[in-house]
């Protein structure tokens, strides 16, 4: 193969720098590259993600993480008759000791892609407080639909709290929903009954009912100019 | 869903996995499974084996995710692991072939799913056959350059080789493939 063809394929020279002889060889290469293009278009089998997730070993947590996990995991509790009084006293003590917990700011900005984001940031001495809320814009094309909502773990799979709107009636439903940073699952609900997977999601996971939840990962708004 | 600027980076997803968010690992699988699978298929020439290699790569990555240095590149790490697994498979295959010299060599053709588009399948088999004539070093360099379209700098990180050495491997792989496929070109 002509050395200049290699240099061209390596991005070192422009096509216009190739001689007639090199151009002929380049055309032969381009025929070969059309075969390689088939391989470039190849995708992993659809079952692979779930096979991999099922094969993962259990997560090993450090002792500290185990303690934190125990503290933050919700569990049912029984309250004795006088317990509410004790709880109220404890609540008053907390408010006195940590007044900065009550201090929050809310601000609004426009993200570069034209997506409006609203962030609630915590201030004061609570640097480990839950990360700030991000407003995510969801969109689904559903021509002829009467209503579209988004339901996910970020809104407890509520069927009516994440309503989208189609203001101009063109079938594109859009809505902003508050989401905490992290990895979430969600689906759309069309006309209050039909559960639809987002065709443009970042990833998918089986929902246990024969359909797929969409996956959404949201980063904290800390770096944004607010 | 339209918030590309808010999508977590690999480093952020890795951090979540390290802190026990098992589902976050699904995001990494979605991001890298196709490219790892293509690389593995091109190297081991068998889709079932390639799927096993990719699955083992991800499972190992999940188990070892605490060993990944802060700020390291998950994709490059996964690629290196996948390529090493492919090399191990090919070595074991050669040992197996030596032990059973009369057995036919494993080929994509024999284990591939039926393809309705005969021409496409023929071309694919021709390419696979030509790729199988390359040495492991040339094949993996060619695949990362022309199938995964990686830069030489990115390839150097994955294959632990210098850029000039990789250019030489890719050049020789192109020459060898062109010769091997002369009849169908």
**A170-217 per-position pLDDT tens digit:** 888 998 888 888 889 999 999 888 889 998 888 888 877 778 889 988
Any idea which of A80-84, A113-117, A212-216 has the lowest mean pLDDT? A113-117
CA torsion sign for B44, B46, B49, B55 is positive
Token pair in block for residue B85: 């697994």
Residue pair B79/B43 in contact (Cβ under 8 Å)? The answer is no
Which has more confidence, B107 or A87?
A87
Residues A174 and A214 sit within 8 Å (Cβ to Cβ): no
pLDDT digits (tens, 9 = 90+) for A14-40: 999 999 999 999 998 998 898 899 889
This model of the complex carries an ipTM of: 0.77
* Cβ neighbours of A43 in B, within 8 Å: 34, 37
- Cα-based distances in Å from B126 to B105, B116, B142, B169: 16, 16, 16, 21
Residues 46-65 of B with CB under 8 A from A: 47, 51, 54-55, 58-59, 62-63
Task: Write the pLDDT tens digit of every residue in A139-148.
Answer: 998 888 999 9
Residue A82: predicted pLDDT = 59
Q: pLDDT at residue B18 above 70?
A: yes
Q: What DSSP line would sit under B146-185, residue for residue? A: IIS---HHHHHHHHT--HHHHHHHHHHHHHHHHHHTTTT-
> Which member of A9, A38, A185 has the closest CB to residue B120?
A38
Q: What is the mean pLDDT of chain B?
A: 83
- Taking the C-alpha atoms of residue A158 and residue A139, their distance in angstroms, rounded to an integer, is 17
Prediction pTM value: 0.59
Answer yes or no: do B174 and A117 touch at CB < 8 A: no
B185 pLDDT exceeds 80?
A: no
Residues B170 and B138: their CA atoms lie apart, in Å, by: 6
Q: For chain B, how many helices (H) and strands (E)?
A: 9, 0
In this prediction, residue A19 carries a pLDDT of 93
| pLDDT tens digits for range B119-151 | 667 777 888 889 989 998 999 999 999 999 999
CA distances from A45 to A40, B51, B54, B79, B174 (A): 14, 8, 11, 18, 28
Q: What is the pLDDT of residue B115?
A: 46
Note which residues in 46-75 of chain A have CB less than 8 A from chain B.
Answer: 48-49, 51-53, 55-57, 59, 61, 65, 69
Most B CBs within 10 Å, among A10, A32, A58, A222, to test the B interface: A32
């Amino acid at each position: 193969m002509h050395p200049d063809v290699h240099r061209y394929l390596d991005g070192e020279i422009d096509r216009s720098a190739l001689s007639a002889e090199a151009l002929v060889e380049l055309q032969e290469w381009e025929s070969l590259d059309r075969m390689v293009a088939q391989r470039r278009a190849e995708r992993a089998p659809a079952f692979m993600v779930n096979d991999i997730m099922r094969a993962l070993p259990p997560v090993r947590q450090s002792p500290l993480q185990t303690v934190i996990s125990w503290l933050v995991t919700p569990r049912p509790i029984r309250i004795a008759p006088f317990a509410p009084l004790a709880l109220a006293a404890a609540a008053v003590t907390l408010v006195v000791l940590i007044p900065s917990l009550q201090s929050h700011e809310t601000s609004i900005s426009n993200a570069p892609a034209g997506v409006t984001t609203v962030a609630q940031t915590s201030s004061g001495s609570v640097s480990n407080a839950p990360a700030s809320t991000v407003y995510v814009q969801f969109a689904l094309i559903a021509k002829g639909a009467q209503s579209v909502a988004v339901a996910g773990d970020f809104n407890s799979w509520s069927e009516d709290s994440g309503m989208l709107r189609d203001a101009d009636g063109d079938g594109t439903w859009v809505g902003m929903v508050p989401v905490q940073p992290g990895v979430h699952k969600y689906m759309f609900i069309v006309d209050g009954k039909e559960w639809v997977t987002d065709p443009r999601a970042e990833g998918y996971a089986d929902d246990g009912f024969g359909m797929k939840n969409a996956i959404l990962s949201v980063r904290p708004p800390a770096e944004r100019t607010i | 869903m339209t918030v590309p600027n808010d999508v977590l980076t690999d480093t952020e997803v890795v951090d979540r996995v390290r802190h026990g968010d098992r589902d976050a690992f699904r995001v990494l699988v979605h991001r890298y499974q196709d490219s790892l699978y293509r690389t593995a298929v091109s190297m081991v020439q068998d889709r079932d084996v390639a799927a096993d290699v990719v699955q083992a790569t991800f499972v190992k990555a999940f188990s070892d995710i605490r060993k990944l240095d802060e700020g390291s590149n998950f994709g490059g790490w996964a690629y290196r692991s996948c390529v090493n697994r492919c090399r191990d498979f090919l070595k074991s295959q050669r040992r197996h072939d030596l032990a059973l010299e009369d057995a036919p060599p494993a080929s994509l053709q024999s284990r591939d799913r039926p393809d309705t588009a005969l021409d496409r399948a023929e071309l694919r088999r021709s390419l696979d056959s030509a790729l199988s004539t390359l040495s492991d070093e040339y094949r993996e360099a060619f695949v990362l350059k022309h199938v995964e379209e990686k830069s030489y700098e990115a390839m150097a990180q994955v294959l632990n080789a210098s850029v000039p050495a990789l250019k030489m491997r890719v050049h020789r792989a192109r020459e060898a493939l062109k010769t091997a496929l002369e009849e169908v070109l």
